[in-house]
């Protein structure tokens, strides 16, 4: 082999590295059987129905579990957790789900001082997107310089590998306060505010195509006295990034001599289409009004996640209940097409009041993380058939972010 070819082979060897996951022969044979079973079932159905032309429906009467398409039966083998520390944001660690053992740490491949992970979002095949924020001291005060988005995979041994910078993921002068990813990794969504912002501010929603780096930006509408206004939070994307879903809390903007404005129905779950290439958040369409499925005065929707196939909304709801000592945290699922008839996936009775810190799901939309509990302290775990299975660290108060 010529010298150049030998060097090229060496470089390709380094670049290719190790696959993050193995392909196993049993899964291949199962997939092949499913392919032929689908064809056989379709043919048999036509024969049974005698060509009556009735379409077979596969949906159950209630909200269906999200389509997973051949996913493993159990939860993800690893999860990533980031805690608060006295020095600020700690380095996220990778832990084994089964034992809680720390297998590695996640770091930002951005070689500047003052860089820390501020958001994590899962995509398929144990890949993750992270937002890395750089803070520098100016005049003795910390100043946020900007954010970059990276992607990496977790290997079978629980180690992050194959870090790469996401095209379009350089966000100078911006803080990322939320990060979501399409399961297929084709798009990510960030809720951003200017880096100089100190207090809560309405966020822009930016959807980034990871293939081209193109940005589609939605801004909050201007606040006009006498009009209804809302911002967006709790963002999530469908599996191919075709739809972005968020929570909104409509409010009347008050003003002297402004006409009266009425808001009812409580919180809303709304959707934007990245194909629209941006605009105002108020161009979104309504999926669900809180009042249709729960009381609006004492209960709140803290998080809303859309399933990868776009069929199901999973809501994290908190409330004080009907009387003293009736606090609760509840996870419900609702069909995205109707926004009604919720199905309870999990309920925790928290007594007097509640603590809620975080709710999220893995990329398949099947396995949910929850950090919530009574006022005395929250519990960190994942929801398994209506039970909360604890994860380490068990005490949830110190957690800032968790993902799998």
Beta bridge partners of 191: 178, 205
Q: Is 11 in the site for other proteins (CB under 8 A)?
A: yes
Give the other-Cβ count within 10 Å of 289's Cβ: 17
95 closest CA partner among 392, 397, 366:
392
Residues 182-221, one symbol each (x = binds other proteins by CB under 8 A, - = not), give --xxx-----------------------xx-x--------
Residues ≥6 apart with Cβ < 8 Å to 216 = 206, 207, 208, 274, 276, 277, 278
Q: Say whether residue 87 binds other proteins (CB under 8 A).
A: no
Least distance CB 362 / other proteins (angstroms): 15
By beta-carbon proximity to other proteins, the closer residue of 69 and 200 is: 69
Measured CA distances, 154 to 163, 232, 332 (Å) = 10, 31, 30
Residue 7 CA to residue 2 CA, distance in Å, equals 9
Confirm or reject binding of residue 172 to other proteins (CB under 8 A). no
Contacts of 144 (CB under 8 A, 6+ apart): 133, 134, 135, 175, 195, 196
Other CB atoms within a 10 A radius of the CB of residue 37 amount to: 11
Interface pick for other proteins out of 44, 137, 156, 170 (rule CB under 8 A): 170
Interface pattern 14-43 for other proteins (x via CB under 8 A): xxxxxxxxxxxxxxxx-xx--xx-------
Q: Please choose, out of 38-46, 96-104, 117-125, 285-293, the segment that lies near other proteins by the rule CB under 8 A.
A: 117-125
Q: How far is the CB of 18 from other proteins (least distance, A)?
A: 8
The verdict on 165 binding other proteins (CB under 8 A) reads: yes
Using the rule CB under 8 A, is 9 a contact of other proteins?
yes
Nearest in space to 112 (alpha carbons), one of 83, 147, 62, 77: 147
Q: How far is the CB of 130 from other proteins (least distance, A)?
A: 13
3 state DSSP class of 331: strand
- Residue 79 CB, nearest distance to other proteins (Å)? 19
As measured in angstroms, the least distance from the Cβ of 12 to other proteins is 5
Is omega for the bond preceding 393 within 30 degrees of 0, making it cis? yes
Considering the rule CB under 8 A, would residue 13 count as an interface residue with other proteins?
yes
Residues that bind other proteins (CB under 8 A): 1, 3-5, 7-9, 11-29, 31-32, 35-36, 109-112, 123-125, 127, 151, 153, 162-170, 184-186, 210-211, 213
């Amino acid at each position: 082999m010529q010298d150049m070819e030998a060097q090229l082979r060496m470089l390709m060897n380094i670049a290719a590295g190790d696959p993050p996951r193995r392909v196993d022969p049993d899964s291949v044979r199962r997939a092949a059987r499913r392919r032929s079973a689908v064809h056989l079932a379709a043919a048999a159905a036509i024969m049974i129905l005698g060509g009556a032309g009735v379409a077979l429906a596969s949906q159950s009467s209630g909200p269906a579990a999200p389509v997973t398409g051949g996913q493993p039966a159990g939860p993800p083998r690893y999860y990533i957790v980031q805690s608060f520390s006295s020095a600020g944001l700690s380095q996220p660690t990778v832990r084994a789900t089964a034992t809680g053992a720390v297998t590695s740490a996640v770091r930002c491949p951005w070689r500047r001082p003052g860089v820390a992970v501020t958001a994590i979002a899962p995509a398929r095949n144990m890949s993750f997107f992270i937002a890395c924020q750089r803070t520098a001291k100016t005049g003795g005060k910390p100043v946020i310089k900007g954010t970059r988005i990276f992607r990496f995979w977790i290997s079978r041994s629980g180690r992050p590998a194959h870090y790469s910078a996401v095209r379009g993921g350089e966000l100078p002068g911006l803080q990322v306060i939320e990060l979501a990813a399409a399961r297929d990794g084709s798009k990510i969504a960030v809720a951003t505010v200017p880096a100089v912002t100190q207090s809560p501010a309405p966020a822009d929603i930016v959807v980034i195509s990871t293939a081209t780096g193109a940005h589609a930006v939605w801004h909050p509408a201007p606040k006009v006295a006498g009009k209804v206004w809302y911002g967006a939070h709790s963002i999530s994307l469908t599996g191919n990034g075709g739809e972005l879903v968020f929570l909104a809390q409509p409010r009347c903007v008050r003003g002297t001599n402004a006409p009266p404005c009425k808001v009812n129905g409580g919180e809303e779950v709304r959707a934007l289409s990245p194909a629209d290439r941006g605009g105002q958040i108020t161009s979104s369409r309504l999926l669900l009004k809180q009042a249709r499925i729960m009381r609006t005065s004492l209960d709140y929707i803290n998080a809303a996640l859309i399933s990868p196939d776009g069929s199901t909304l999973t809501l994290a709801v908190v409330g004080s209940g009907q009387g003293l000592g009736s606090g609760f945290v509840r996870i419900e699922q609702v069909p995205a097409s109707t926004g009604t008839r919720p199905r309870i996936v999990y309920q925790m009775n928290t007594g007097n009041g509640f603590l809620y810190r975080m709710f999220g799901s893995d990329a398949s939309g099947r396995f949910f993380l929850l950090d919530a509990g009574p006022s005395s302290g929250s519990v960190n775990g994942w929801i398994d058939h209506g039970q909360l299975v604890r994860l380490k660290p068990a005490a949830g108060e110190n957690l800032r972010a968790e993902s799998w």
